[in-house]
Structure 1
Amino acid sequence: MSSSMGQLEEMLSVVGDEAGDEVDWAAAERAYGVHFPPDYKRFVARFGGGTIEGSIGILIPIETADPMIRRVYRLLDSVREDPDLQRWSGVEGVTPSLGDVLIWGDTDSADFIGWLTIGENSETWPLVVYSRVKASWTAYGCSMSEFLAGILSGEFSECPISDESLMGAGRSRFLHDREEERLLEMGVYPWEEE
Structure 2
Amino acid sequence: MDRTEAALPAAHRADRNSFVDAVVAVTGWDRGRTHTVDWTAVEARIGTALPADYKELAEVFGHGAFDGYLELHTPGAAFSSCDIVLHTVWLGEWARTHGSSLWEPYGVHPAPGGLLQWGSSEQAHQFYWLTDGPDPDRWPILVCEDAPDSWERFDGTTAEFVHRLLTEPEHPFSIACYFDSHWFESYGNP
TM-score (norm 2): 0.72
Is 1:41 matched up with 2:55?
yes
The offset of 1:132, in angstroms, is 2.5
What residue ranges of structure 2 are gaps of 5+ in the alignment?
1-15
Distance 2:141 2:50 in 1: 12
Whether 1:101 aligns to 2:115 is: yes
The reply to whether residue 6 of structure 1 matches residue 21 of structure 2 is yes
Matched with 1:176 is: 186
The whole-number CA distance in structure 2 between the counterparts of 1:145 and 1:170 is: 20
1:22, CA displacement in angstroms?
A: 1.2
Aligned residues of 1:153 and 1:168 also touching (Cα < 8 A): no
Give yes or no for contact 1:39–1:144 (8 Å, CA) kept in 2: yes
Please state which structure has a larger fraction of its residues in strand: 1
Matched with 1:144 is 158
Paired residues of 1:50 and 1:175 also in contact (CA < 8 A)? yes
Tell me, in whole angstroms, the C-alpha distance in 2 between the residues paired with 1:68 and 1:44.
16
> TM (normalized to structure 1)?
0.71
**Distance in 1 of aligned mates of 2:147 and 2:73:** 22
Residues 1:80 and 2:94 aligned together: no
Q: What value does the CA root-mean-square deviation take over the aligned residues?
A: 3.0
Q: 1:159 to 1:9 in 2, by over 3 A?
A: same
Runs of 5+ unmatched residues, structure 1: 88-95, 180-194
Q: Is the 8 A contact 1:154 1:169 kept in 2?
A: no
Aligned length: 162
Name the CA shift for 1:106/1:79 in 2 (closer, same or farther; >3 Å): farther
Distance 2:117 2:39 in 1: 17
- Residue type at the aligned position of 1:159: P
Equivalent residue letter for 2:141: L
Shift of residue 69 of structure 1? Answer: 5.2
User: Which stretch of the first structure deviates more once superposed, 134-143 or 29-38?
Assistant: 134-143
Distance in 2 of aligned mates of 1:34 and 1:50 = 23
Compared with structure 1, are the counterparts of its residues 133 and 69 closer, same or farther at alpha carbon in structure 2 (3 Å cutoff)?
closer
1:80 deviation in Å? 2.1
In 2, the alpha carbon distance for the partners of 1:26 and 1:20 equals 18
> Is the 1:12–1:174 contact (alpha carbons within 8 Å) kept by the matching residues of 2?
yes
Quickly say closer, same or farther: Cα 1:158–1:70, change in 2 above 3 A. Answer: closer
Where is the helix percentage greater, Structure 1 or Structure 2? 2
CA gap of 1:42–1:158, structure 2 versus 1, over 3 A, is closer
Partner Cα separation in structure 1 for residue 81 and residue 148 of structure 2 = 28
Report SS of the residue matched to 1:109: coil
What is the aligned partner in structure 2 of residue 159 from structure 1? 172
Indicate the SS of the match to 1:172: coil
The Cα shift of 1:81 comes to: 2.4
